[in-house]
Amino acid sequence: MDPALPTLAWAAVGVAVLALAVAAFTVRRLRVVDRQLTRLVEAGAPTDPPLDRIGALETQLAQVRGDLTQALRHVAVVRYDAFGDMGGRMSFSVAVVDDDGDGFVLSSIHARGESRTYAKGIVGGDSEVVLTPEERQALDAARTGSAD
């Protein structure tokens, strides 16, 4: 007879006892969970997933996504010198549009003695009023998400 056989047998008995203890603990815990679930059901808690609530949330999410496409969230600024005798790039054009290209371009032209501000509406990525090259650059940058 192999001398390691009794040690191996005792090890197997130990593993079996340990497995039996884990099984007993699991059964006891399962009974506790079952009692808690029974109390919840008796109290009127739903047992099925709230599919109607999930459907409502999906509807709300679709509405939020639709609203987000109309948000004026694409913005670009182009700074420039409108006149040769004035430096510092004090003039600027700002384009602010939504996902459909609707929004506005705001331009502020600075000269030594005065400052003028213009706003032009944008529909579908274009304006009924002619855009200056700087305004076009700002609009293109806002629509593509690229830098000036």
Q: What is the mean pLDDT of residues 62-89?
A: 85
- Is the predicted pLDDT of residue 84 greater than 90, yes or no? no
Task: Specify the 3-state DSSP secondary structure of 92.
Answer: strand
**Helix/strand/coil for 19:** helix
Are 79 and 115 part of one and the same domain?
yes
Domain that holds residue 117: 70-144
Question: Do 76 and 115 fall into the same domain?
Answer: yes
The residue to which tokens 């032209």 are assigned: 109
Q: State which of 40, 68, 96 marks the end of a domain.
A: 68
Q: What is the pLDDT of residue 136?
A: 95
Nearest residue to 138 (alpha-carbon basis) of 81, 74, 83: 74
Q: Which secondary-structure segment (H or E) carries 119? A: strand 115-122
Both 79 and 51 in one domain: the answer is no
One domain, residues 59 and 112: no
Tell whether 103 and 43 lie within a shared domain: no
User: Which structure tokens are listed for 84?
Assistant: 């040769």
Per the structure, the count of domains in the chain is 2
pLDDT tens-place string over residues 99-144: 889 999 999 998 888 889 999 999 999 999 999 999 999 999 999 8
When pLDDT is averaged across residues 17-35 and rounded to a whole number, the result is: 87
Residues 38 and 100 in one domain: no
